[in-house]
Structure 1
């Protein structure tokens, strides 16, 4: 019954141009003196109008009463992505590449929490919700809390070993077989070479291939093109000419009247 009353009073503010203007300009405090509803009861413990609608109807109104915490307490994702540059010919013919990279491993001192002695407290900024609200008029938009990164918890005192990050960065290397014909933007998966979680499981490493452009050859899907100048007389009369290919020079017989 109390919620119905609050929703009705909130709707009264939204539908009344004068009260709506007061709220948009000065916020909820300007309505507490009697402008919000008949008794001037204020927001009944809610932060704003969006919070009232969210509590009654669900989270679709951007209210702050229903926040979802981060699904995992890890400070990083298990998967790791690194970029690998290849020359045009390395991508065409394939090769082997040794990759040096840095991965994350949960700090053993604080058990990956980032807090001294592994003790966390409720985040004071979001009060454990994992999200904070940004008000625009009568609507509140939720965004991930910048202090706790959505976990709802923070360290009262940071771990001295990891400086509060919850992880350390370690070096590793791996040899990767690059298949023939790999294209720009493709990913190669290397199992169990990613980041190391608190549970001791290591995620996968994804190698994103970046193929450098070639001065001579142009790739279009599975085809390779070149632009090769010829004299006007060669094109009119026809002639055998030497042209570069990815495997060396080749003879090309120009027919008469070639364009």
Structure 2
């Protein structure tokens, strides 16, 4: 026995505890939906000694049990996409309609989304098509995602020239939408069915992240708007009626 064996034994105990946690349907659904952060946050008091993410990244290559609708195993990209739109302080106050151009990903028609010139995928010779390779640590064996095929279990012999072997192309499209009044930086607007397109024809959503530019005069604090107006010392002492600009 050596230090390496003891370390492997501790890891084995952690794995057993992790499997016990995921034996509960509710906890497993939490991991599927929220990932390792969800488990660590929800059950950290009971299992605070280790990181669930480390365990599952080791066994499942960081993929978890299920991929969300946002990305499928047979697609090389997320279905949902996000763009950043900057608007003026005035547009944020009154609301504004936008017509913007952006790029979406869609399967390459030349290779049917395979990324292969002959439209054929070959079994990865490094993992034998399993998508996993085995690494050993002491008396334990750990399966990790194959770095050569990225877990797909398949590779191409010759890349498609039109998509450079990626299996998808980018296409410029446009979308019209309304930004409601009162938005602030950090707000995300969801536009259904305006995202990327999968091989099966499923369309993701587009998320518009709004960034409000600073104004030359006005400053926002929560739902209030402030403005600094310079006055002379005598005006401040004696008082005087002055004109103050507003948003209207």
* TM-score (norm. length: structure 1): 0.64
Contact 2:133 2:146 in 1 (8 A): yes
Greater RCO structure (CA 8 Å; 6+ sep): 2
Deviation at 1:89, TM superposition (A): 0.6
1:156 aligns with 2:145: no
* Corresponding residue number in structure 2 for 1:14: 3
Residue by residue over 1:149-204, the C-alpha shift from the partner in whole angstroms, topping out at 9 and shown as x without a partner, is 34333223222221111101111111111111111111111111111111112111
Distance change in 2, residues 1:95/1:143 (3 Å):
farther
Residue by residue over 1:13-70, the C-alpha shift from the partner in whole angstroms, topping out at 9 and shown as x without a partner, is 22789xx9xxxxxxxxxxxxxxxxxxxxxxxxxxxx69x959x958978699944595
Distance change in 2, residues 1:136/1:97 (3 Å):
farther
Contact 1:190 1:206 in 2 (8 A): yes
Residue by residue over 1:50-93, the C-alpha shift from the partner in whole angstroms, topping out at 9 and shown as x without a partner, is 9x959x95897869994459541111111111111101111111
* Corresponding residue number in structure 2 for 1:23: none
Map 1:1-259 onto structure 2 (within 5 A): 12-14=1-3, 53=12, 66-67=59-60, 71=67, 72-124=73-125, 128=129, 130=131, 146-247=147-248
Q: What is the count of residue pairs matched by the alignment?
A: 204
CA–CA separation in structure 1 for the residues paired with 2:177 and 2:136: 50
Contact 2:4 2:138 in 1 (8 A): no
Aligned to 1:234, the other structure's residue is in SS state helix
Deviation at 1:118, TM superposition (A): 3.1
Contact 1:133 1:143 in 2 (8 A): yes
Deviation at 1:245, TM superposition (A): 1.5
Aligned to 1:73, the other structure's residue is in SS state coil
Work out which of the two has the higher radius of gyration on C-alpha atoms and give 1 or 2. Answer: 1
Distance change in 2, residues 1:189/1:15 (3 Å):
closer
Contact 1:67 1:129 in 2 (8 A): no
RMSD, matched Cα: 3.8
* Corresponding residue number in structure 2 for 1:256: none
Where in structure 1 are there 5+ consecutive unaligned residues? 1-11, 21-48, 248-259
Contact 1:63 1:140 in 2 (8 A): no
CA–CA separation in structure 1 for the residues paired with 2:147 and 2:5: 36
Contact 2:58 2:144 in 1 (8 A): no
